[in-house]
Each structure stands twice: as structure tokens, then as C-alpha cells.
């Protein structure tokens, strides 16, 4: 096996650093810099962190006589006769290559520029696949010419990196750029893990790991490099979380126990709290009263009654003369919360405001004016709440509903409006343990593990197209009994180039209108303006509309207790957790409820996945399954995975490494909560700016 030698490190101007724009690298002009930006590569550091997605094993040079068809081969030989031909539109270059054992033809299609490289008599390495046309030949091989003494082979010999690409930049260019950046900047790559930890875990230093992950000498070196980088990624997550927890411990609001309003709420609610709700309220009150900043993840399956718990907490903030804010992911949901809260606090002399994009400007202006006065009030809204024109200076409590629909940064932005406010994030999407360890480890989970009495589980059935008729019959019966139904259409589908969502809705609306001529049907989707959406939803809530043909905009939160049937068209287009959420729109009252999943075009695998929903109503199981099948990125969606900039580490596959990193970081931050010891100094470079900022 040939061992490539490395180029010596070159001198370079001192002013450039890893943070410099990538255009400061050798060989990168404005055009390449622009193309690289499409790969999210902007700085030199980004380029060095653009890790290969796979590798080609081109270590094994074989004698030409033993080259076999349909294999990948690496050969070294002398270039013989070279010919350039044209056949129809093809540029073809052919040459013979021989070594002591024999000769073989090499062929390239449409790479005319190679011609000047192929000098008769020069020695070259060729790597490519071997095909057969009359005789065996090596086709479109990568080629590098051997010149003089030692040379480094980027493309043909060794373990060769294969990078994620974008149009306009090829593998060879990227390999060259990464290599030259490594040559110039390797020594600048800072260590981020304490020396002692590296030794303890037998991990290579960071710069070695960077070199090896791009250009490994062997599998073992590559494995160690990947382990090191994954470990560091996990450690970075943990350091940030733990650091924040330590900060929270020393700053927080101590609310007093003075049940002025919270004491009255009980008589206002149309139901009595479940034991789980009462317990959650109790726990949250105790944490609000402590001087620690509260970070609670209120987790309860769809319909478990999280809103009531949230309202208790908000009133507690208000009776302590503070402001409380509740942020919901959709305008529909925000409006729903607003109406409910307004009704509940009527006569309490507590102003309630709704802030969302669709509200009239004047109303918003008045709300903002009141809010900036700092007087106690309840503010409910969408992400409009985190806009800079909304001053929530006296925010004592921030609540994020359906928090999985928000990005981590949005959650932080809301809390940042106040000075260390207490924070509750609520979700019905159960968080698999792996993710809980990373995304939510600064949160204490409070579980609503009970749904209000009298509810039975939603019967779920996978319906094949030929069973549509009986299903419609069944729906007819439900409608006759006075119930209502949702029909949900996917926003992706077979049609392309047109507005698929609109097309799907239109199709379904026609279909169901034909089947139910005696009932009122209406469409509801995100493209309608808010007023219209609210009007339709109100009519649905009050029973004037019986069938709502809609999209996933009703996925979260919408609460129409009289609806007992949900039909999900194209169910295979949705993730399991999403289906579970959608299913949660029914089964919110005493009425027995049904969920029909229509997935005619589904593959066998998709069917299996859907069958799982028939048998399981356990949100945890469903989420775990979803995570396994779709991976964390898909599972979380882009909003959530922002924090998980994991390039190498994998939350499911590398679970053990994640645990190890977590344990190590916990030990370090327990002994040194703010990383003040010299040996832990390096870890500080992993803190994101948000963690570094110590609130007053
Ligand atoms: P989620 O946890 O999904 O946000 P909601 O807070 O929207 O659930 O509550 C679901 C439904 O259950 C609502 O109609 C709500 O009024 C009702 N509800 C909440 N708590 C109770 C309870 N303790 N008893 C009966 N109904 C309740
Ligand atoms: Mg809810």
C-alpha cells in the first residue's frame, strides 16, 4: 500500500484566521466563494468543517494483468498511445496504459481537457471502474500523473473523501480546496476539549481529527476522528445546557403565594381539574415561588388539558403584578386561547391582549402601548410576540405552547424579553429520551399522564380505497347523530408545479360534497386570510358547518369537542407523530371518536408504519418509532434541529457516546459551574453567545 506523503505547511500572512471569509484561501475567487456559500461554507472554518459524506477506498494498487471487469481498480502504469475521437456528440479520449504485467485501455467521455494531461511515456495512477466493450477497459477513471519524487494523491490513491456537492463545484475542486485549507490552517484549529478528558477518553486532538476525517490513512484513524468530532458535538450541546442551568440557579423571580386570582379560577372553569392537572399546577406554583429560574417542560398527550394549567400559571404571575405571555404556533390557536382566557378572567380586572400578524393595526398599537407601561396583563399571540416592537419588560412568565413547532431561538427570544422570567414550554409531542437528553436537558419535565375522565381512545383504522364507501356510510351515521368531522388533505401529492394544497382541498371538497349533499361543508387552509379562517372555524365550532375540509393548519391545539371523526387523506405523506397530533383533534369529549387513515398509494413499508397507529395510542411509543424510522432531522423538523448542528454525531446511532459526553460534562460543570478553572478554559469556546451572556 502506498502511503501518501503530506505537503509541508506553508507560511501565510498572519492576518488570516479560521473566521476569515473563505475567499481568503488560496485558489478561491469570488465565483467559487459564491458557489461554496450554497453549501453554507462562508468562513475558512466552515470549509474545514465540511466533512465528507463518504469515502472511496483506493488504497489497493493492482497489477494491470489482474484487473477484472465490473470492479473498481487502482492501477499505476505508463501512458501509451493516446487518441481523441468524436462519435456523434461524444468527445472520446482513449489511451493505453501498461505496466510490467500487461496493458489496458482507458476511456474518457466528454472530458476533452484531459488530452493535454495525457503525455505519452508519463507515469500515472488511474482509479475507476472497469467495464467491457470487446475488451476490458477502465472507464472515466480519475487520473493523476506521477511526477518526480513524492506527490500527494488527492483523487486516485488512498482513502478518498467524497463531499456533499452543489451544482458548479465538483469533487475534485472540493478536495483540492479542503486540502489546501488544511495545509494552511491546520495549526490554527483550536482545541475545545480539556487535555485530561482527551487522554481519559483516548480521543485524538482536534486538529488531528480534522485532518483525519478529510484524509484518513486507514479505517482506524477515521473511526477515531469521527468519534472525537461526534463527542465534541455532544459535549458542546451539554456544556451549553448545563451552563445555562447553572446560571438559572442563581437568577430567578420568587413569586409569592397569594392566591388572589388563582383561588377564584377554580369556580370559573367548566370542569374540575384532573389529579394530574392539579398536581402540575401545584408543582409549577412551587417552582415559581422558588428563587431559581423555572424551566418546565409540561408534557401531556393531546387533550390532556395543558391549557388550563397554563392559565393557572399566568394568573399567578399577574397576581404578583407581573406580565405573562403565551405564545402559540398558529393564529387559529392563539385566537382560541385568547377567547378562552378572556372568558375565564372576565371581571378579574386583568387586561388580556392578542398579538398576531392578522390583527388590526390599531388594536395592536393599543396593546403594545399598554404592555410597555409594564402594568400586569396577559399577552397571548403568535411569534409576533417576539418582534422587537413588542416590549415585555416586566415579563414574569413566558409560556410556549406546542413548543415543538418553534425553533429553539424563538423560545429563547421570548424569554429574553424579560429579565430571567420563569418559563414553561408545553408539548403534546412526546420527546424520545435521546432527544430529551440533548434538546431539553435544562428542563424539568412535568407530566400530565391522565386525560379527563370519560374519554375513550380514538379508534383508528387504515382504510383502503375500496373501503371508502363503507367509511362514508359510517360518517353519515355520525353526522346524523349530530357529530362533526374533519377531512385533512396533505400539502404534498402527485401533482407538481401547481398549488398542490389547493388542488388537494378542492378535490376532497368536491368528493365529500357529492357524498354529503345534505350537510354544510367548508374549506379551511392557510392561504385564507385570518378573518375568514376565524369565521369558518367559529361556524364549525357552533355547529353550522358539519364537515371541515382542511390542511395541517388544524394539526395543533384546535379544540372542537363535538367533532368525532377525522379522515386523513394521503396519510402516508405524514409522519407518525403528526398523525397522532391530528388524531388528537377528535376524542375531546364524551363522544366516541374515530380516525380514518386513507393511504392508497402507500408502499408496504408505509402501511406498516400506519398500522402502528391502529394499535398504539401511546404518544411516547409513537414518537420513538417515528424517530427510529425517520431520523432526528425529519422528526424534529428544521425549526427544532437548528440547535442540533450535528455533522458527525448521530442521536440514535451514537447514543452511548452521547451519554458519555453528557456524564463527562456534568462532572466538569458540577465542579466548576462557570468554567473558571484554567484547565476548563477551552470548553468556553463551545458556549454560544446566548449562554455567555449572564442575565442581570
Ligand atoms: P391540550 O393538552 O391538548 O392542549 P386542552 O387544554 O386543549 O388540551 O384541553 C382539551 C379539552 O379538554 C378542552 O376542551 C378543555 O376544555 C378540556 N378539559 C381540560 N381539562 C379538563 C378537565 N379536567 N375535565 C374535563 N375537560 C377538560
Ligand atoms: Mg393545547
pLDDT in tens, 153-189: 889 889 999 999 998 999 999 999 999 999 999 999 9
* Distance (Å) from CA 402 to ligand 2 centroid: 7
For residue 638, is pLDDT > 50? no
Domain boundary among 156, 176, 211: 156
| Radius of gyration for the chain, computed over Cα atoms and rounded to the nearest angstrom | 31
The confidence score (pLDDT) of residue 30 equals 93
Decide if 85 is inside a domain.
Answer: yes
Task: Tell which wins on pLDDT, 184 or 690.
Answer: 184
The confidence score (pLDDT) of residue 692 equals 43
* CATH number for the domain harbouring residue 52: 1.10.150
Q: Kindly give the residue spans of alpha helices, DSSP state H, lying in 468-598.
A: 468-480, 500-515, 530-541, 576-583
For the segment 215-229, what is each residue's pLDDT rounded down to a tens digit?
999 999 999 999 999
Q: Kindly give the residue spans of alpha helices, DSSP state H, lying in 252-299.
A: 262-268, 275-289
- Does ligand 1 have an atom closer than 6 angstroms to the CB of 588? yes
User: Per-residue pLDDT averaged across 632-655, rounded?
Assistant: 64
User: Which of 279, 452, 563, 580 has most ligand 1 atoms within 8 Å of its beta carbon, as the pocket-test mutant?
Assistant: 452
Asked if residues 562 and 483 have their Cβ atoms less than 8 Å apart, the reply is yes
Q: Which residues contact 241 (CB under 8 A, 6 or more apart)?
A: 438, 441, 442
> Do 113 and 30 have their domain in common?
no
- Does ligand 1 have an atom closer than 6 angstroms to the CB of 590? no
Give the Cα separation of 205 and 148 in Å (integer).
33
The confidence score (pLDDT) of residue 408 equals 66
User: Which of 269, 280, 303 has most ligand 1 atoms within 8 Å of its beta carbon, as the pocket-test mutant?
Assistant: 303
Percent of the chain with pLDDT over 90: 51
Decide if 227 is inside a domain.
Answer: no
Q: Which residues surround ligand 2, an ion (CB under 5 A)?
A: 557
> Do 593 and 485 have their domain in common?
yes
* Distance (Å) from CA 337 to ligand 2 centroid: 9
The confidence score (pLDDT) of residue 358 equals 79
Sheet of strand 422-427, all strands in order from the earlier edge strand to the far edge: 352-355, 378-381, 323-327, 395-400, 422-427, 295-300, 444-448
For the segment 256-288, what is each residue's pLDDT rounded down to a tens digit?
988 888 889 989 999 999 999 999 999 999 999
- Does ligand 1 have an atom closer than 6 angstroms to the CB of 305? yes
Domain boundary among 616, 651, 685: 616
* Distance (Å) from CA 178 to ligand 1 centroid: 56
Decide if 670 is inside a domain.
Answer: no
> Do 53 and 104 have their domain in common?
no
For the segment 86-145, what is each residue's pLDDT rounded down to a tens digit?
888 889 999 999 999 999 999 999 998 899 889 999 999 999 999 888 888 999 999 998
Ligand nearest to the CA of 334: 2
Residue 8: which pLDDT band, with cuts at 50, 70 and 90? low
- Does ligand 1 have an atom closer than 6 angstroms to the CB of 627? no
User: Per-residue pLDDT averaged across 201-213, rounded?
Assistant: 95
- Which residue minimizes the CA distance to atom 10 of ligand 1? 303
> Do 556 and 571 have their domain in common?
yes
* CA-closest candidate to residue 424, choices 580, 312, 559: 312
Of ligand 1's atoms, which has the minimum distance to the CA of residue 273?
A: 23
* CA-closest candidate to residue 120, choices 90, 81, 72, 146: 81
Cell of 235: 459535549
For residue 80, is pLDDT > 80? yes
Of ligand 1's atoms, which has the minimum distance to the CA of residue 306?
A: 2
What's the whole-number average pLDDT of the chain? 87
- Does ligand 1 have an atom closer than 6 angstroms to the CB of 428? yes
- Which residue minimizes the CA distance to atom 9 of ligand 1? 305
* Distance (Å) from CA 579 to ligand 2 centroid: 15
User: Per-residue pLDDT averaged across 203-208, rounded?
Assistant: 96
Decide if 99 is inside a domain.
Answer: yes
Ligand nearest to the CA of 266: 1
For the segment 513-529, what is each residue's pLDDT rounded down to a tens digit?
999 999 999 999 888 88
Decide if 506 is inside a domain.
Answer: yes
> Do 7 and 92 have their domain in common?
no
- Which residue minimizes the CA distance to atom 17 of ligand 1? 305
Asked if residues 94 and 82 have their Cβ atoms less than 8 Å apart, the reply is yes
User: Per-residue pLDDT averaged across 633-661, rounded?
Assistant: 69
For the segment 557-606, what is each residue's pLDDT rounded down to a tens digit?
788 999 999 999 999 888 888 899 899 999 888 899 999 999 876 678 78
Percent of the chain with pLDDT over 70: 91
The confidence score (pLDDT) of residue 630 equals 67
Enter the DSSP assignment of 450.
-
The confidence score (pLDDT) of residue 261 equals 86
Task: Tell which wins on pLDDT, 632 or 490.
Answer: 490
* CATH number for the domain harbouring residue 592: 3.40.50.300
- Does ligand 1 have an atom closer than 6 angstroms to the CB of 559? yes
The confidence score (pLDDT) of residue 142 equals 93
- Does ligand 1 have an atom closer than 6 angstroms to the CB of 619? no
* Distance (Å) from CA 306 to ligand 1 centroid: 7
* Distance (Å) from CA 305 to ligand 1 centroid: 3
User: Which of 280, 305, 430, 453 has most ligand 1 atoms within 8 Å of its beta carbon, as the pocket-test mutant?
Assistant: 305
* Distance (Å) from CA 35 to ligand 1 centroid: 51
Angle (CA) 305 307 310, round 5°: 125
- Does ligand 1 have an atom closer than 6 angstroms to the CB of 303? yes
Ligand nearest to the CA of 281: 1
For residue 7, is pLDDT > 80? no
User: Per-residue pLDDT averaged across 434-454, rounded?
Assistant: 79
- Does ligand 1 have an atom closer than 6 angstroms to the CB of 304? yes
> Do 479 and 582 have their domain in common?
yes
The confidence score (pLDDT) of residue 252 equals 79
- Does ligand 1 have an atom closer than 6 angstroms to the CB of 273? yes
> Do 7 and 68 have their domain in common?
no
* Distance (Å) from CA 212 to ligand 1 centroid: 55
Ligand nearest to the CA of 587: 1
State the total domains in the chain: 4
Around Cβ 582, how many Cβ atoms within 10 Å? Answer: 24
Decide if 267 is inside a domain.
Answer: no
> Do 276 and 361 have their domain in common?
yes
> Do 97 and 138 have their domain in common?
yes
* Distance (Å) from CA 632 to ligand 1 centroid: 30
Sheet of strand 521-524, all strands in order from the earlier edge strand to the far edge: 459-463, 594-598, 563-568, 484-488, 547-550, 521-524
Range(s) of the domain holding residue 467: 458-616
Residue 209: which pLDDT band, with cuts at 50, 70 and 90? very high
H-helix or E-strand containing 75?
A: strand 72-87
The confidence score (pLDDT) of residue 37 equals 93
> Do 383 and 372 have their domain in common?
yes
Domain boundary among 601, 616, 631: 616
Give the Cα separation of 491 and 574 in Å (integer).
10
- Which residue minimizes the CA distance to atom 18 of ligand 1? 305
- Does ligand 1 have an atom closer than 6 angstroms to the CB of 336? no
Q: Which residues contact 378 (CB under 8 A, 6 or more apart)?
A: 314, 318, 323, 324, 325, 326, 341, 345, 350, 351, 352, 353
> Do 481 and 598 have their domain in common?
yes
* Distance (Å) from CA 330 to ligand 2 centroid: 11
Decide if 100 is inside a domain.
Answer: yes
Asked if residues 175 and 159 have their Cβ atoms less than 8 Å apart, the reply is no
- Does ligand 1 have an atom closer than 6 angstroms to the CB of 299? no
Ligand nearest to the CA of 340: 1
* Distance (Å) from CA 205 to ligand 1 centroid: 53
* Distance (Å) from CA 401 to ligand 2 centroid: 7
Q: Which residues contact 528 (CB under 8 A, 6 or more apart)?
A: 536
User: Per-residue pLDDT averaged across 620-639, rounded?
Assistant: 67
* Distance (Å) from CA 150 to ligand 2 centroid: 67
Decide if 646 is inside a domain.
Answer: no
> Do 88 and 114 have their domain in common?
yes
* Distance (Å) from CA 348 to ligand 1 centroid: 22
Ligand nearest to the CA of 584: 1
The confidence score (pLDDT) of residue 695 equals 32
Of ligand 1's atoms, which has the minimum distance to the CA of residue 277?
A: 23
Give the Cα separation of 358 and 530 in Å (integer).
6
- Does ligand 1 have an atom closer than 6 angstroms to the CB of 403? no
Amino acid at each position: 500500500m502506498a502511503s501518501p506523503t503530506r505537503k509541508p505547511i506553508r507560511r501565510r500572512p498572519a492576518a488570516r484566521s479560521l473566521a476569515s471569509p473563505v475567499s481568503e484561501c488560496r485558489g478561491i475567487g469570488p465565483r467559487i466563494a459564491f458557489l461554496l456559500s450554497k453549501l453554507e461554507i462562508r468562513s475558512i472554518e466552515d470549509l474545514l468543517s465540511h466533512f465528507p459524506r463518504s469515502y472511496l477506498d483506493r488504497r489497493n494498487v493492482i497489477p494491470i494483468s489482474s484487473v477484472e471487469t465490473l470492479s473498481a481498480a487502482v492501477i499505476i502504469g505508463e501512458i501509451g498511445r493516446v487518441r481523441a475521437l468524436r462519435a456523434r456528440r461524444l468527445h472520446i479520449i482513449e489511451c493505453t496504459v501498461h505496466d510490467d504485467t500487461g496493458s489496458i485501455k482507458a476511456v474518457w467521455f466528454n472530458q476533452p481537457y484531459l488530452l493535454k494531461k495525457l503525455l505519452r511515456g508519463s507515469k500515472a495512477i488511474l482509479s475507476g471502474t472497469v467495464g467491457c466493450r470487446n475488451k476490458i477497459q477502465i472507464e472515466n477513471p480519475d487520473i493523476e500523473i506521477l511526477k518526480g519524487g513524492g506527490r500527494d494523491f488527492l483523487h486516485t490513491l488512498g482513502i478518498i473523501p467524497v463531499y456533499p456537492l452543489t451544482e458548479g463545484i465538483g469533487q475534485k475542486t472540493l478536495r483540492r480546496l479542503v486540502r489546501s485549507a488544511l495545509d494552511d490552517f491546520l495549526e490554527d484549529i483550536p482545541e475545545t476539549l480539556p487535555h485530561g478528558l482527551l487522554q481519559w477518553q483516548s480521543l485524538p486532538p482536534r486538529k488531528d481529527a480534522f485532518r483525519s476525517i478529510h484524509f484518513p490513512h486507514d479505517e482506524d484513524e477515521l473511526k477515531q476522528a469521527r468519534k472525537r468530532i461526534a463527542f465534541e458535538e455532544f459535549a458542546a450541546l451539554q456544556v451549553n445546557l448545563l451552563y445555562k442551568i447553572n446560571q438559572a440557579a442563581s437568577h430567578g423571580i420568587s413569586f409569592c403565594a397569594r392566591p388572589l386570582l388563582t383561588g377564584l379560577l377554580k369556580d370559573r372553569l367548566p370542569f374540575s381539574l384532573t389529579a394530574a392537572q392539579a398536581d402540575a399546577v401545584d408543582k409549577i406554583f412551587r417552582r415559581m415561588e422558588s428563587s431559581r429560574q423555572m424551566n418546565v417542560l409540561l408534557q401531556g398527550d393531546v387533550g390532556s388539558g395543558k391549557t388550563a394549567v397554563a392559565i393557572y400559571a399566568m394568573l399567578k404571575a399577574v397576581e404578583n403584578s407581573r406580565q405573562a405571555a403565551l405564545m402559540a404556533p398558529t393564529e387559529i390557536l392563539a385566537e382560541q386561547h385568547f377567547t378562552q382566557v378572556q372568558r375565564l378572567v372576565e371581571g378579574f380586572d386583568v387586561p388580556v391582549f392578542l398579538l398576531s400578524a392578522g390583527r388590526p393595526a390599531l388594536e395592536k398599537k393599543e396593546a403594545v402601548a399598554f404592555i410597555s407601561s409594564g402594568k400586569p396583563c396577559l399577552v397571548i399571540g403568535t411569534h409576533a410576540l417576539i418582534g422587537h416592537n413588542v416590549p415585555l419588560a416586566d415579563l414574569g412568565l413566558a409560556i410556549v405552547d406546542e413548543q415543538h413547532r418553534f425553533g429553539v431561538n424563538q423560545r429563547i427570544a421570548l424569554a429574553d424579553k424579560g429579565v430571567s422570567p420563569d418559563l414553561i414550554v408545553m408539548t403534546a409531542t412526546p420527546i424520545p429520551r435521546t432527544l430529551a437528553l440533548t434538546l431539553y436537558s435544562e428542563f424539568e419535565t412535568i407530566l400530565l399522564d391522565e386525560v379527563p375522565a370519560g374519554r375513550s381512545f380514538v379508534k383508528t383504522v387504515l382504510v383502503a380505497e375500496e373501503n371508502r364507501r363503507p367509511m362514508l356510510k359510517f360518517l353519515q351515521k355520525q353526522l346524523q347523530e349530530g357529530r362533526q368531522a374533519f377531512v385533512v388533505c396533505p400539502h404534498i401529492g402527485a401533482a407538481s408545479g401547481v398549488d398542490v394544497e389547493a388542488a388537494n382541498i378542492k378535490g376532497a371538497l368536491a368528493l365529500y360534497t357529492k357524498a354529503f349533499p345534505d350537510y354544510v361543508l367548508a374549506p379551511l387552509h392557510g392561504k385564507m386570510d385570518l378573518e375568514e379562517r376565524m369565521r369558518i372555524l367559529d361556524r364549525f365550532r357552533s355547529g353550522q358547518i358539519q364537515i371541515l375540509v382542511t390542511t395541517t393548519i388544524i394539526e395543533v391545539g384546535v379544540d372542537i369537542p363535538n367533532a368525532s371523526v377525522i379522515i386523513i387523506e394521503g396519510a402516508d405523506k405524514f409522519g407518525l407523530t403528526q398523525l397522532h397530533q391530528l388524531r388528537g383533534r377528535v376524542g375531546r369529549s364524551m363522544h366516541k371518536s374515530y380516525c380514518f387513515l386513507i393511504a392508497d398509494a402507500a408502499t408496504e413499508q408505509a402501511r406498516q408504519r400506519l398500522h402502528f397507529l391502529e394499535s398504539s395510542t401511546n404518544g411516547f411509543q409513537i414518537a420513538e418509532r417515528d424517530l427510529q424510522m425517520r431520523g432526528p432531522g425529519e422528526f424534529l423538523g428544521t425549526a427544532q434541529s437548528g440547535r442540533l448542528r450535528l455533522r458527525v454525531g448521530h442521536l440514535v446511532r451514537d447514543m452511548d457516546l452521547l451519554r458519555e459526553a453528557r456524564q463527562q460534562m456534568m462532572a466538569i460543570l458540577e465542579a466548576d459551574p462557570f468554567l473558571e478553572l484554567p484547565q476548563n478554559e477551552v470548553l468556553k469556546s463551545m458556549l454560544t453567545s446566548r449562554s455567555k451572556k449572564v442575565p442581570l
